[in-house]
Structure 1
Amino acid sequence: MPGFLDRLLRRDPDALPRSVRADQALDLLAQGAVLVDVREKDEWRSGHAPQARHVPLGRLATDARRLPRDAPVVVMCASGMRSRGAAAQLRAAGYRATSLSGGLAAWRTAGGPVTR
């Protein structure tokens, strides 16, 4: 009866953890999650994941509406600091969002592609 227990404890079985490792993020993306890069424009131009959507952190509140609500959202930045706050902001707005721990460096180490 895990469904009953989850409801009783008010746990959402579809909820994502607050942060994920890069290998977990790659798995989520393979399953249809959306990758959002919240770094600034100059950081984005220096290299980014080709499938990422660029939404600078300062524009997240207004541009989040461009993100699908029916898919998980993985948020990345350079180190994982800004993405944690951005993922929390998206969760508060009703998105299923998680932060990529370790940022772009962890992404690269896990074999995630980067383009300019």
Structure 2
Amino acid sequence: MELNTAAEHWQAGDAVFADIRDPQSFAMGHIPGAQRIDNSNLGVFLESVDKHAPIIVVCYHGISSQGAAEYIAAQGFTNVSSMNGGFTAWSMSYPEHVNKE
């Protein structure tokens, strides 16, 4: 999914953002409202999200998120995308929309 399309979904509040980056990177900055997922909480995440809700998977540069998006889709989710450019592109294009912990 193109970055601007992901931003439109974020603005509309109609998508779930799943961030697969490591905890330290997530804490240093993430898309507001994004959920950090990894192997330890993936099952809970999959159980808590509507199978037809738009899910946008975010990684560092938009590469690792492709495989994660494919995995989530293989679990029966119908609207899963990987965000092109990852969080790096998001933080450069939308620095005002970055949360830090």
- TM-score, with normalisation over the residues of structure 1? 0.73
Which structure: larger Rg? 1
Report deviation, 1:60.
6.2
Report deviation, 1:42.
1.2
Equivalent pair of 1:23/1:110 in contact (CA under 8 Å): no
SS in 1 for 2:8: helix
Aligned residues, how many?
Answer: 96
Report deviation, 1:89.
0.5
Q: Deviations over 1:45-74 (max 9, x none)?
A: 111111101112x34652322222231101
Report deviation, 1:31.
5.5
Number of the residue aligned with 2:89: 106
- TM-score, with normalisation over the residues of structure 2? 0.83
Structure 2: runs of 5+ lacking an equivalent? none
Residues 1:79 and 2:61 are matched in the alignment: yes
Question: Using the alignment, how far apart are the partners of 2:92 and 2:80 within structure 1?
Answer: 22
RMSD: 1.7
